[in-house]
Chains A and B, each alone.
Chain A
Amino acid sequence: EDKVVQSPLSLVVHEGDTVTLNCSYEVTNFRSLLWYKQEKKAPTFLFMLTSSGIEKKSGRLSSILDKKELFSILNITATQTGDSAVYLCAVEHLDDYKLSFGAGTTVTVRA
């Protein structure tokens, strides 16, 4: 059975801190790994990673994938209160279209 495990489950930081979120996976026929941000209800897409070792970056957020060790990290630098959310990791398979999601990491940024 496919597994997507995120850690930590939750963390609290202060504005300006840097956070690192982890996602490890065990899936057959891996195609891509995706990160989503869920602030209230609707998850919104952040990154899709397909190649190992290539960093994706968007502003203060960045992510990298290690296909050999089967994990990804999501970094948020200079955190702001607006970064408070649940961050979801998902893995997509080559031969189908379902995304398997992890349980998420809840990030709380205090002013």
Chain B
Amino acid sequence: GAGVSQSPSNKVTEKGKDVELRCDPISGHTALYWYRQSLGQGLEFLIYFQGNSAPDKSGLPSDRFSAERTGGSVSTLTIQRTQQEDSAVYLCASRRPGQGARGELFFGEGSRLTVL
């Protein structure tokens, strides 16, 4: 697609429920990132996918968080047994292949998650 697409744009859920957030990166972009942005905070790295390599999951805050990337394209971030502190905007970004493209990420509009 023309840009990084994320869905849903807004999600309100009850504490303890599971949620899935979807990211469709720009076609041809091999790198995909998930970040979390809490109110008034900077972006917190969650997970990184690059091609067929094992993902870097070092930023996931707990084992309730997991992510997949199927076929090197669409990614799903799953949060199990949601807690109120999970409320945030979850941003997905992708990057073109090649060393020259390092740094410049293309972000989606984000999924705003509210856990009641």
Contacts and interface: CB of A to CB of B under 8 A. Distances in A.
Interface of A: 4, 6, 31-32, 34, 40-45, 48, 88, 90, 92, 96-104
Given A41-B110, A42-B110, A102 B42 contact: yes
Contact of B45 (A42, A44, A99): A99
A32 B100 CA distance: 12
Main secondary structure on A side of the interface with B: strand
B52 interface: no
Interface string B31-50: 10101000011111100101
Contacts of A4: 42
A102 B110 CA distance: 18
B105 A99 contact: yes
Nearest to A40: B109
B42 A101 contact: yes
B107 interface: yes
Given A32-B102, A48-B104, A92-B102, A98 B109 contact: no
Contact of A88 (B43, B50, B103, B108): B43
Contact of B103 (A44, A48, A100): A48
